[in-house]
């Protein structure tokens, strides 16, 4: 039953995407929406491998935003935490060549986690002990993170020719664990498995532990948390740290994927953080649902990528995929209305029935 609003939201998103396609180029609109719908399935398993590769970082940022949200915080700083994590992973991957090859990648991922946690810690601290709105501080931390990483790349692991980070050591890349054979010709790697592991850990923490019980209690109702003697302030800091750590891991997984992706020195905030917000909205902050929402959004993005075959500008494609994603996510805000509508319809049905009986 709770899946219905999500599905309706997605359908609404596709309708809007189709409308934009129609307005821009009516002749190819039907083909276009077909390509988007087919998404990653265009090229069989290779396409799906690509979908999972794109899904990995946004599952992590989605998980970050969703986890914070469940505990009553709006972490809009997933981008900055993601960027910090990415840099930490690359730094470890490039410089610490002395590490044993079997643990090099693990150390790099842990560094990413730590860096993300630090970037989440500061807004959490300010929110808990100085009551500074975490939305504002985490947005500012996005800019600080972006600029700081640009400086740090130039100072440490800089490839001057390409204005980007140096390639990491081979052992620092996430192992493929045979996934590249399962999904040939794709950038598929073990990152998705780590993301799935994180999803399950977060699910268990939130649903099965006393720590999760405390975090959610404070998130739903801070005053009741205080009443129950829960240390709400400390939990707030923990919550932002965990959220940041998740986003940080996401950054690490993307740049340790061995797909030939390097960190560019540019003044653009990582989009993965914002995609995380829509993933989390679409997944209604539930960890398992976030996993599927992340895959869905990656699927649409791959579909949009394939749309280049038709006569659509790259910008238009971006607008269309963004429209589908954001409309899907935001339509969920009307979830309660959709549900009210459904119950009302049921009610009128049951109301009408006895009347039919009377007239007979």
Q: Which of 131, 160, 161, 223 binds other proteins (CB under 8 A)?
A: 223
Q: Which of 326, 328, 214, 289 is nearest to 62 (CA)?
A: 289
Contacts with other proteins by CB under 8 A: the residue count is 21
Residues 6+ apart with CB under 8 A from 182: 45, 49, 188
CA distance 91 to 112: 9
234 binds other proteins (CB under 8 A): no
Residues 6+ apart with CB under 8 A from 199: 59, 63, 287, 288, 290, 291
Q: How far is the CB of 207 from other proteins (least distance, A)?
A: 8
224 binds other proteins (CB under 8 A): yes
Q: Which of 97, 133, 347, 353 binds other proteins (CB under 8 A)?
A: 347
CA distance 58 to 180: 20
Binding mask 193-212 for other proteins (x = CB under 8 A): ---------------xxxx-
CA distance 219 to 61: 19
Q: Inter-axis angle of helices 271-282 and 78-95, to 10 degrees?
A: 130
CA 41 to chain centre: 21
End-to-end CA distance of the chain: 34
> For other proteins, which stretch binds (CB under 8 A), given 84-92, 289-297, 330-338, 343-351?
343-351
Residues 6+ apart with CB under 8 A from 218: 71, 72, 225, 230, 232, 235, 236
Which residue lies nearer to other proteins by CB, 154 or 344?
A: 344
> For other proteins, which stretch binds (CB under 8 A), given 13-21, 27-35, 226-234, 309-317?
226-234
Q: How far is the CB of 202 from other proteins (least distance, A)?
A: 15
213 binds other proteins (CB under 8 A): yes
Residues 6+ apart with CB under 8 A from 154: 265
185 binds other proteins (CB under 8 A): no
358 binds other proteins (CB under 8 A): no
> For other proteins, which stretch binds (CB under 8 A), given 2-10, 78-86, 177-185, 340-348?
340-348
> For other proteins, which stretch binds (CB under 8 A), given 20-28, 30-38, 228-236, 284-292?
228-236
Which residue lies nearer to other proteins by CB, 213 or 330?
A: 213
Q: Inter-axis angle of helices 29-38 and 314-331, to 10 degrees?
A: 60
- HSE at residue 301, side-chain half, CA atoms within 13 A, is 19
Q: Which of 4, 103, 228, 333 binds other proteins (CB under 8 A)?
A: 228
Q: Which of 177, 234, 344, 353 binds other proteins (CB under 8 A)?
A: 344
226 binds other proteins (CB under 8 A): yes
Binding stretches for other proteins (CB under 8 A): 208-211, 213-214, 216-217, 220-221, 223-230, 343-344, 347
């Amino acid at each position: 039953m709770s899946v219905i609003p999500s599905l309706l939201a997605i359908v609404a998103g596709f309708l809007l995407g189709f409308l934009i396609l129609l307005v821009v180029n009516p002749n190819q609109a039907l083909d276009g929406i077909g390509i988007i719908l087919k998404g990653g399935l265009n090229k069989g398993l290779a396409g799906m491998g690509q979908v999972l590769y794109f899904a990995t970082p946004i599952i992590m940022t989605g998980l970050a935003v969703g986890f914070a949200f469940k505990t009553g915080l709006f972490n809009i700083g997933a981008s900055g935490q993601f960027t910090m994590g990415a840099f930490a992973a690359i730094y470890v991957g490039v410089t610490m060549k002395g590490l044993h090859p079997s643990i090099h990648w693990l150390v790099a991922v842990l560094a990413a986690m730590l860096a993300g946690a630090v970037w989440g810690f500061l807004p959490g601290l300010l929110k808990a002990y100085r009551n500074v709105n975490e939305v504002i501080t985490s947005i500012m931390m996005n800019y600080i993170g972006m600029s700081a990483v640009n400086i740090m790349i130039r100072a440490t692991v800089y490839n001057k020719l390409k204005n980007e980070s140096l390639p990491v050591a081979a052992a620092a890349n996430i192992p493929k664990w045979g996934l590249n054979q399962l999904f040939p010709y794709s950038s598929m790697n073990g990152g998705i498995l780590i993301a799935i592991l994180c999803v399950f850990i977060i699910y268990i923490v939130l649903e099965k532990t006393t720590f999760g019980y405390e975090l959610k209690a404070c998130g739903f109702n801070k005053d009741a948390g205080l009443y129950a003697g829960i240390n709400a302030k400390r939990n707030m800091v923990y919550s932002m740290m965990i959220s940041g750590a998740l986003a940080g891991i996401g950054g690490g997984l993307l740049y340790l994927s061995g797909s030939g992706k390097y960190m560019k020195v540019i003044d653009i905030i990582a989009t993965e953080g914002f995609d995380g917000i829509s993933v989390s909205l679409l997944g209604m902050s539930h960890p398992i649902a976030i996993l599927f929402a992340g895959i869905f959004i990656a699927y649409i993005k791959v579909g949009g990528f394939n749309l280049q075959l038709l006569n659509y500008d790259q910008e238009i494609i971006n607008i269309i995929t963004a429209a589908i994603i954001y409309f899907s996510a935001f339509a969920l805000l009307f979830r309660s209305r959709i549900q009210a509508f459904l119950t009302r319809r049921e009610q009128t049905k049951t109301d009408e029935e006895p009347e039919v009986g009377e007239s007979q």
